[in-house]
């Protein structure tokens, strides 16, 4: 029998193990829909997602193991150069185009914790957590992992989160960038946003950040996990500061996007 090797990293990794060339994770009511989505992505040629391999004898979902390591935080240099940041933007666009033709199973159940704020919530099935902590790189191979939160969403809501995370738009002096506005523009250009989408994206950056803070604050109030634990660990304050930082510079993001 192959050894089970616990996999750490991320904020929710309990019960995640590697077995040979597979990863086993706790399954949930959303797993069949997520596996249908991942199967569709591979069928249409999008390779930046793990391959679903079913359910094992212990009821865990089985995915193909993705070699490499996540970009955040120790390997963020992988997306520092603007050409590589542009690759992120193109990858997000390719993902959204690939899911556009996906028809969810009639009985699909999803685990979307922050639904989009706009009328595009059913525009696509979005990832909802496109961030460097979910981007695994191995040489020239880039893969987005952690699809449990996928579900109905909108392109801009998904992209706004990716922009916040990959620029990054951070109040932390260790991560704050003087070229942040230029990097926002790189991602928008690589994705291929038109002018109307750019005008909508600029104020959405702060609202998407605030939605994450609100989720953690609600978790603190109700005890819902893992949000209550993340609040206790200080993540709520980080998202609060980041939201204020992004709001105060809203005109800079808009100017960069439209320049």
Q: What is the pLDDT of residue 64?
A: 97
Domain-ending residue, one of 64, 83, 116: 64
Domain count, the chain: 2
Task: Give the Cα separation of 145 and 50 in Å (integer).
Answer: 7
Predicted pLDDT of residue 157: 95
Give the separation between CA 227 and CA 221, rounded to whole angstroms: 10
Q: Give the pLDDT means over successive 10-residue stretches in the chain (259 positions).
A: 77 80 96 98 97 96 96 95 98 97 95 80 90 95 96 95 98 96 98 98 97 97 96 97 98 97
Burial (CB < 10 A; 0-12, 13-18, 19+), residue 83, is exposed
Tell me what pLDDT residue 12 has. Answer: 59
Closest CA relative to residue 10, chosen from 173, 131, 139? 131
Which domain range does residue 143 map to?
69-258
- Distance, CA of 208 to CA of 118 (rounded, Å): 11
Whether this prediction's pTM lies above 0.75 is answered by yes
Please report, to the nearest 10 degrees, the dihedral formed by the alpha carbons of residues 39, 45, 48, 54 taken in order: 20
Examine the domain organization and report whether 41 and 143 are in the same domain. no
230 and 248 fall within a common domain: yes
Using DSSP, state whether 89 is helix, strand or coil: helix
Residues 105 and 35 reside in one and the same domain: no
Same-domain pairing of 60 and 88: no
The pLDDT of residue 9 = 60
The residue ranges of DSSP E strands in the chain, in sequence order, are: 4-6, 17-19, 22-26, 52-55, 60-64, 69-70, 124-126, 135-138, 141-144, 151-153
Residue that is last in its domain, among 64, 85, 112: 64
């Amino acid at each position: 029998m192959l050894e089970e090797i616990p996999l750490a990293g991320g904020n929710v990794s309990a019960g995640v193990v590697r077995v040979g060339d597979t990863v086993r994770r706790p399954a949930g009511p959303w797993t069949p829909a997520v596996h249908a989505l991942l199967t569709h992505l591979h069928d249409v040629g999008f390779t930046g997602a793990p391959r679903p391999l079913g359910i094992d004898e212990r009821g865990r979902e089985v995915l193909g193991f993705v070699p490499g390591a996540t970009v955040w935080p120790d390997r963020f240099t992988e997306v520092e150069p603007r050409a590589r940041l542009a690759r992120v933007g193109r990858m997000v666009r390719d993902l959204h185009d690939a899911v556009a033709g996906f028809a969810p199973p009639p009985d699909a159940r999803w685990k979307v914790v922050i639904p989009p704020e706009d009328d595009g919530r059913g525009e696509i099935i979005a990832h909802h957590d496109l961030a460097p902590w979910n981007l695994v790189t191995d040489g020239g191979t880039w893969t987005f992992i952690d699809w449990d939160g996928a579900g109905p969403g909108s392109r801009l809501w998904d992209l706004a989160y990716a922009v916040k995370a990959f620029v990054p738009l951070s109040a932390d002096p260790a991560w704050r960038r003087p070229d942040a506005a230029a990097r926002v523009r790189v991602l928008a250009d690589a994705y291929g946003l038109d002018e109307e989408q750019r005008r909508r994206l600029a104020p959405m950056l702060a609202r998407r950040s605030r939605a994450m803070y609100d989720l953690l604050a609600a978790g603190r109030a109700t005890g819902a996990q893992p949000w209550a634990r993340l609040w206790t660990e200080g993540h709520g304050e980080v998202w609060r500061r980041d939201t204020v930082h992004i709001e105060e510079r809203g005109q800079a993001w808009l100017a960069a996007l439209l320049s």
